[in-house]
Amino acid sequence: MTSEGVDTEPLDGRRRRWQEHNQVRRQVIIDAAIAVLERQAPGEEVQVQAVADEAGMSRTVIYRHFEDRSDLDRAVQREICDQVGGELLPALSYDGTPDQIIHRIVGSFIRWAEAHPTLYWFAERDLAGWGPSPLSQAVEQVAEGIEGIMAIVVAALGVELTDDDRAALDPWVFGMIGAVFAAVRRWLERPVREPGIEACISILSESIWLQINGMALSRGLNLPDLPVAELLQALGPADGESGSEGGA
């Protein structure tokens, strides 16, 4: 401002501040929607008015920041999946043997889902016309992490996979992880969550490891019971470069 009270701030500066303001308001609305979801049971419809009340604003203001209800729901789904990713990121490290890492990844996801069943239900919702739910990104993140572990183990053993095996690795691992996500959804929906959470984690992580180990044995590979970080270190920078892309 000048001494005469005339606003001399450049247009770009005002536009930037307005955009930042809008981003803050959008986040307030998204956080309010998640707070409302956390108080509800899976399957219970979230009312926009409840979100507005939680955010301390009117429904009209909400629709200034989102095109429609689907746009708001999609933004909430993305936020939930970002939370899932934050929970899974530490578990995707190469600390431990392959079966221990898989157990840690599965455990991190199931514990999050058990603590936030409504968020998990909402993240899986299919919003017509918006394509696959953002939860598929979390599935892909886990699948890529496990695929990276397998690549390191195969390289450490000095084995050359066939072209078909290499081509099938991605959809196969993605399918395994997708099955775990579906199993967790079924477990959460049961009137009584049986088995208990620790048994559920053990059974599902073991099922993944048995599939991986079984596929390896059918190809004459004996998977080493060694920490993945040690295998990666033994490969050296050149050999381990491709496999390290899958780790956190």
Q: Could you give the CA distance from residue 119 to residue 80 in angstroms, rounded to a whole number?
A: 7
Q: Could you give the CA distance from residue 124 to residue 9 in angstroms, rounded to a whole number?
A: 45
Q: Where are the extended beta strands (E) located within the chain? A: none
Domain residue limits, the chain:
1-66, 80-244
CB 11 within 8 A of CB 30: no
Q: Could you give the CA distance from residue 166 to residue 129 in angstroms, rounded to a whole number?
A: 33
Q: Could you give the CA distance from residue 32 to residue 28 in angstroms, rounded to a whole number?
A: 6
- What's residue 244's pLDDT? 41
243 contacts: CB under 8 Å, gap ≥ 6: 148, 151, 152, 155, 232, 235
- What's residue 233's pLDDT? 81
E strand or H helix at 34: helix 11-39
The length of the chain, given as a count of residues: 248
From residue 220, alpha-carbon distances to 154, 160, 166 in Å are: 12, 12, 16
CA angle 98, 103, 104 (to 5 degrees): 95
Characterise 95 by phi-psi region: left (phi > 0), alpha (psi -120 to 50), beta (else): beta
Low-confidence ranges of the chain (pLDDT < 70): 1-11, 18, 21, 128-133, 236-248
- What's residue 125's pLDDT? 83
Q: Could you give the CA distance from residue 177 to residue 55 in angstroms, rounded to a whole number?
A: 36
Q: Which of 187, 248, 180, 246 is nearest to 208 (CA)?
A: 180
- What's residue 29's pLDDT? 96
- What's residue 132's pLDDT? 62
The domain made up of 80-244 has a fold known as: Tetracycline Repressor; domain 2 (1.10.357)
How is domain 1-66 classified at the architecture level of CATH?
Answer: Orthogonal Bundle (1.10)
1-66 and 80-244, same CATH topology: no
- What's residue 192's pLDDT? 92
